[in-house]
Amino acid sequence: MGPKRPKKLTVSTAVFAACSVSLLTLAGCSSEDAGGGSGGNGGGSGGTGSHSPAVPKPTEPARTGPAPAAVPSVRDFEPVRGPAWKPSKFTRVVAEPGGPLADEARLLAEELKVPFSKGPARTADVRLSLDRGLDTGREGYVMESRAGQVKIAGADHAGVFYGTRTLLQSVRARGGVADGVVRDKPDRPQRGFMLDIARKHFSARWIEDRIREMGDLKLNQLQLHLSDDQAFRVESDTHPEVVSKPHLTKAEMRRIVKLAESRHIEVIPEIDSPGHLGAVIKAHPEIQLENASGEPTEGAVDIADPRAAKIVDDLLREYADLFPGKRWHLGGDEYLALMQEDPEASYPGLAAKAREKYGRDAGVQDLATGWLNDRAAVVRDEGKIPQAWNDGIHAGGEVRAEQDREVAYWTGKEPGQRNPVTYLKEGWKLINLNDEYLYYVLGEPNKFTYPTGRRIYDEWTPAVLRGTKPVPKSLSGPEHIPGGRFAVWCDRAGAQTPEQVAAGIRNPLRATAQKLWDPGKPAMSWEDFKRLGERVS
């Protein structure tokens, strides 16, 4: 028999507890020793893993483990005995300067304060590469640390980027990484953060800081709620009269989108309709819905009036190029006409239009469903996948919601709302925004309380779509529930400053990222996870 192979390790509380002892001697790269030569070969002429007289071999004692320190935790780590890797004055990040990973390499080199080089890679370096043959999926990666060098490979750019996040976080927390092989990939393809910028203005710089934070947490979607009753927050050329002050300019939004793309984050815009359009109605009172008594309905447009549809469609088409991602959120929630005991009696004009358009048995619900179908057709023509809130997808009726859209399931508390299982059995894909765990509502109105990271970490998974109980296991996989988002709503905008919001969501966002990457029961305690989050950021 040969020497015993080290046992395969999964991340555990014990592994992380060991880190403080096993890698105490690892030191980070200081600004004084970060140079280490130019962007060229710097004296190394050998192939991958080659040594040079200018680059000494690692001299640290051989150890085994622990797994890299990262949030979310790596899902699989196979340790090997070795001296570990830490950045030094000899370290470079190596990738082809004009190649597909140049941006990821430059970013990591800047963050580690080391040069970016075309290679060839040598001892002390970090080498990035694409390997289309890996079975990690587009967001998975393999990171190998051996003989004083780190290699990060993925089948696509996003996976390599996430590998650099694991390395960077471990350097921040411990100074380096132990020798071994990480094989890591997310459980859910959609992992996001939603921000209400309509009720409260957030500066471009604040949003950009959140994007950098999201990138490190391996989150890949940023939903921006652009408009609501209180304000419309993005510059418009087609309808400048609806834009509020303050707002984000198109130049600022392009900068936000560009930064998000560099972190492999898709920006998903939301112009909510046919409710929550008060800011548009303020500029166009002629499209506001009135009830049978002639009283205006707050935030609701008259969906029987083609002028309302034209304004919304103008905005959807205008912003299609500004937001080049593949998804668009249409809203669809809380249309007040449908929240009445008898919508047809309360809004006879809508009822008459529904019968005219869809037949004598049609009602206001059918007109609302038709409205959202028409808006979905607009964004679909622009190459987008529509999304909508679950209370905009109605059961029964003469008109059915077209099933080419994804459903953002947020509540079961509104009147008449269906259990998520009914959607799943009908074949809908649900994105989890469970308001029991994932809604950070400023001012805590309507019995909301600020969510805690501990509660998300200990109790929530993507399968917990409504309340606290998961849906059946047969309906809870990624093919049914592609992921989720943590949401900030600004109902009482003055309740917190932007800085307080950033601090308040930090731990909940980390916990959400962990459970979307790996929904299993975490090995670490919440307190250990919370401390780790501070060390890796």
Q: Is residue 513 within 8 Å of 217, Cβ to Cβ?
A: yes
Residue 33 is predicted with a pLDDT of: 32
Alpha carbons 470 and 434: distance in angstroms, whole number: 11
Spatial distance between the Cα atoms of 107 and 211, rounded to a whole number of angstroms: 14
Burial of 237 (0-12, 13-18, 19+ CB in 10 A): exposed
Asked if 105 and 93 count as a contact pair (C-beta separation under 8 A), the reply is yes
For the segment 494-533, what is each residue's pLDDT rounded down to a tens digit?
A: 999 999 999 999 999 999 999 999 999 999 999 999 999 9
Please give the pLDDT value at position 442: 98
Amino acid 465 reads L
SS3 324: coil
Known catalytic membership, residue 235: no
pLDDT for position 63: 80
pLDDT of residue 60: 76
Q: Compute how many other C-beta atoms are within 10 angstroms of the C-beta atom of residue 380.
A: 15
pTM of the shown model:
0.90
Which percentage of the chain shows pLDDT scores above 70?
89
Residues of the chain with CATH 3.30.379.10: 63-184
pLDDT (tens digit per residue) in 21-64: 333 333 333 333 333 333 333 333 333 444 455 687 877 777 88
pLDDT of res. 416: 65
> Does the pLDDT of residue 16 top 50, yes or no?
no
- Tell me the torsion sign for CA atoms 420, 424, 428, 432: positive
Looking at the chain, the domain(s) classified CATH 3.20.20.80 span: 190-536
Active-site residue (options: 104, 144, 213, 334): 334
Quick one: what percent of the chain has pLDDT higher than 90?
86
pLDDT at 59: 73
CA 5-9-11 angle, to 5 degrees, is: 165
Q: How many CB atoms lie within 10 A of CB 461?
A: 21
pLDDT tens by residue, 400-455: 999 989 999 998 777 668 999 999 999 999 999 999 999 999 999 999 999 999 99
528 and 13 Cβ atoms separated by less than 8 Å: yes
Q: Report residue 162: phi and psi, to 5°.
A: -65, -30
Strands (E), 114-168: 116-117, 126-130, 141-146, 149-154
User: With 0-12 CB in 10 A as exposed, 13-18 as middle and 19+ as buried, what is 472?
Assistant: exposed
- CA gap 327, 55 in Å, rounded: 48
In the prediction, which pLDDT does 55 show?
82
pLDDT digits (tens, 9 = 90+) for 95-135: 999 999 999 999 999 999 999 999 999 999 999 999 999 99
CA 69 – CA 262 distance, rounded (Å): 23
Name the residue among 236, 383, 401 with its Cα closest to residue 314: 236
pLDDT at 169 over 60: yes
**Strand blocks (E) in 211-321:** 221-225, 266-273, 288-290, 296-301
The residue-averaged pLDDT of 457-473 equals 97
The whole-number average pLDDT for the span 222-239 is: 98
- Alpha helices by DSSP H, listed for 144-277, are 157-174, 204-216, 250-262
Q: 63-184, what's its fold? A: Chitobiase; domain 2 (3.30.379)
Asked if CATH classification 2.60.40.10 holds for the domain at 190-536, the reply, yes or no, is no
